[in-house]
């Protein structure tokens, strides 16, 4: 008889954890019904769920269940109680932080990966599947204008991509003498790079923070001065990490000028394109990211700009031999590839041995939609951000501090007689009040003590409707927050 989820699975044979065909179908159908209802209603769910959940979390603590359960009450707990208590990150109104996405076919790919559970750590165990992942990396390479010598690695996210880039630079330029090595980042670098440096054995006293210009981009003159000063002290500059789209204000560092300095000084140039790199797919947007293709290594975050579900980042290394050198190791008991130059072997290019199969989600989505639709979606997000920035920038009392360089902009409120603290308080309140309205979620950042409201358009579900709602809600809340007398003055 078919298990409709009202009774525990396979209770007839306690030592077996396998399911019958009927049980597999029933379980999948029940989960799928919940998933489809949930995803179809994302646009009607609040942009930020109720995350005031301390009491609820305490109530969730539980001892190990000894006996089996039916699936339906577990799905109910997840979908009715836990999931609503979270940011609606895949929702169309999510304009916060750096949005992700969550393309549905990627979830199907993950289901296939987990259900088939093939081993993609070494080429020999699943050569055809590993080839699909190699294809994905090669697509990224060609989209980013990197040469055929480039090799890459799919990671869990941008943080691990940055970590592996620092390892490559360290191996290439410092060898065993890591302590004199110095790296350079902009003041607006993502904190994951500083953390990755520490993990890679480059301690905070060897990480220089380079000041930025009025558009929040790394200052070349300051970078030059710092490199010279460190050389004069007998240290060994080895790495510059620039950012193609900072998380705070969306700034793109001057990549060609940084590449020039790196070439002249013999430094490794890593570009953190976790937020911005995929915009390079669109030919008309390439000038905004000029020089990205010159990087020695590049972070891309498919769970941002390629709209994948969380859990996938990527690193490209211009001369793939350095990535391989950082990770390759003989394991006597594991077979290698017939030709390491021709066939990609994931565990020889990254720290993981056993791993999931992250390439499948990208492969399936790009095959299903085609690259042109990704380019169209990315170009639309940029156009939407320009539209939102122009309209919000024209609202009374709004100062547009960082117009969009890609698809992110930042601003604050002001009015005659307002102090710095007044402006910070009002701008913080604006972010909260717009988000509480429920249609869009925005967040802020603090730059030199000033609080800025940010809007980042990157979810594939965000369309003109949400931009109109965002402008309306910012306009209404800004008008309410700016003191009336001052407004009339």
Ligand X SMILES: Cc1ncc(COP(=O)(O)O)c(C=O)c1O
Using CB under 6 A, which residues numbered 137 to 166 contact ligand X? Answer: 157-159
Residue 291 neighbours by CB distance under 10 Å: 20
Burial letters 67-102, b for 16+ CB under 10 A, else e: eeebbeeebeeeeeeeebeebbbbbbbbbbbbbbbb
> Which is nearer to ligand X, 34 or 381 (by Cβ)?
381
Q: Kindly determine how many residues on this chain lie close enough to bind ligand X according to the rule CB under 6 A.
A: 13
Sheet holding 408-413, edge to edge: 398-402, 408-413, 450-456, 443-447
CB of 409 to ligand X, least distance (A): 15
Among residues 129, 94, 21, the alpha carbon closest in space to that of 310 is found at 94
H/E element, 25:
helix 21-40
CB of 469 to ligand X, least distance (A): 24
> Which is nearer to ligand X, 418 or 457 (by Cβ)?
457
CB of 307 to ligand X, least distance (A): 14
Bin 232: left if φ > 0, else alpha if -120 < ψ < 50, else beta. Answer: alpha
Residue from 9, 274, 413, 431 that binds ligand X (CB under 6 A)? Answer: 274
CB of 272 to ligand X, least distance (A): 5
CB of 162 to ligand X, least distance (A): 6
Annotate each residue in 79-98 with x if it binds ligand X (CB under 6 A) or - if it does not, as one string.
Answer: -------------------x
Q: Which stretch binds ligand X (CB under 6 A): 76-84, 208-216, 270-278, 439-447?
A: 270-278
Q: Judge whether 249 and 447 are in contact, CB under 8 Å.
A: yes
Residue from 272, 345, 423, 473 that binds ligand X (CB under 6 A)? Answer: 272
CB of 157 to ligand X, least distance (A): 3
What is the C-alpha separation between 290 and 242, in angstroms, rounded? 13
What is the C-alpha separation between 489 and 485, in angstroms, rounded? 6
Q: How far is CA 302 from its chain centroid?
A: 7
Using CB under 6 A, which residues numbered 310 to 369 contact ligand X? Answer: 313
Using CB under 6 A, which residues numbered 182 to 241 contact ligand X? Answer: 190, 192
Residue from 242, 247, 347, 424 that binds ligand X (CB under 6 A)? Answer: 247
Annotate each residue in 284-313 with x if it binds ligand X (CB under 6 A) or - if it does not, as one string.
Answer: -----------------x-----------x
Bin 117: left if φ > 0, else alpha if -120 < ψ < 50, else beta. Answer: left
> Which is nearer to ligand X, 381 or 439 (by Cβ)?
381
Using CB under 6 A, which residues numbered 406 to 465 contact ligand X? Answer: none
What is the C-alpha separation between 189 and 196, in angstroms, rounded? 12
CB of 104 to ligand X, least distance (A): 20
Strand-strand pairing, 207-210 and 181-186: parallel
**End-to-end alpha carbon distance in the chain:** 77
CB of 244 to ligand X, least distance (A): 8
What is the C-alpha separation between 2 and 23, in angstroms, rounded? 7
Q: Contact between 242 and ligand X (CB under 6 A)?
A: no
Residue from 120, 243, 248, 249 that binds ligand X (CB under 6 A)? Answer: 243
> Which is nearer to ligand X, 5 or 99 (by Cβ)?
99
Q: Which residues bind ligand X (CB under 6 A)?
A: 98, 157-159, 190, 192, 243, 247, 272, 274-275, 301, 313
């Amino acid at each position: 008889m078919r298990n409709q989820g009202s009774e525990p699975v396979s209770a007839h044979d306690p030592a077996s954890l396998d399911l019958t065909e009927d049980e597999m179908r029933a379980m999948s159908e029940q989960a799928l019904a919940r998933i489809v209802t949930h995803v179809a209603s994302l646009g009607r769910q609040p942009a930020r769920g109720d995350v005031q959940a301390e009491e609820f979390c305490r109530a969730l603590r539980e001892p190990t269940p000894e006996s089996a359960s039916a699936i339906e009450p577990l799905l109910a707990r997840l979908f009715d109680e836990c999931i609503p208590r979270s940011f609606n990150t895949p929702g169309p109104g999510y304009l916060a932080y750096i949005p992700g996405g969550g393309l549905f076919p990627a979830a199907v790919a993950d289901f296939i990966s987990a259900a088939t559970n093939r081993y993609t750590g070494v080429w020999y165990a699943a050569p055809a599947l590993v080839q699909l992942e190699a294809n994905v990396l090669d697509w990224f390479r060609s989209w980013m204008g990197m040469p055929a010598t480039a090799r890459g690695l799919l990671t869990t996210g941008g943080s691990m991509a940055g970590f592996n880039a620092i390892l490559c630079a360290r191996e290439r330029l410092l060898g065993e003498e890591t302590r004199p090595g110095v790296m350079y980042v902009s003041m607006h670098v993502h904190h994951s790079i500083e953390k990755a440096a520490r993990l890679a054995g480059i301690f905070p006293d060897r990480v220089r923070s380079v000041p930025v210009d009025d558009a929040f981009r790394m200052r070349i003159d300051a970078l030059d001065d710092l490199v010279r000063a460190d050389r004069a002290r007998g240290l060994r500059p080895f790495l510059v990490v620039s950012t193609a789209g900072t998380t705070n204000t969306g700034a793109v560092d001057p990549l060609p000028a940084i590449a020039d300095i790196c070439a002249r000084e013999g430094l490794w140039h890593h570009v953190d394109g976790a937020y911005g790199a995929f915009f390079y797919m669109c030919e008309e947007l390439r000038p905004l990211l000029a020089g990205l293709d010159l990087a020695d290594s590049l972070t891309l975050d498919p769970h941002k700009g390629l709209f994948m579900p969380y859990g996938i980042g990527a690193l490209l290394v211009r001369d793939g031999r350095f990535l391989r050198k950082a990770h390759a190791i003989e394991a006597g008991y594991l077979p290698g590839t017939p030709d390491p130059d021709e066939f990609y072997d994931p565990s020889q290019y990254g720290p993981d041995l056993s791993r999931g199969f992250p390439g499948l989600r990208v492969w399936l989505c790009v095959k299903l939609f085609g690259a042109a639709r990704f380019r169209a979606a990315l170009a639309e997000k940029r156009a939407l951000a320009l539209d939102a920035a122009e309209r919000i920038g024209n609202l009374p009392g709004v100062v547009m501090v960082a117009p969009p360089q890609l698809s992110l902009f930042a601003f604050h409120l002001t009015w005659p007689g307002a102090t710095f603290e007044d402006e910070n308080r009002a701008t913080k309140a604006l972010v909260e009040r717009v988000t509480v309205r429920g249609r869009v979620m925005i967040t802020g950042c603090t730059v030199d003590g000033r609080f800025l409201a940010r809007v980042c358009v990157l979810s594939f579900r965000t369309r003109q409707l949400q931009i109109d709602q965002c402008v309306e809600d910012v306009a209404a809340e800004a008008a309410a927050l700016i003191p009336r007398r001052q407004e009339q003055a």
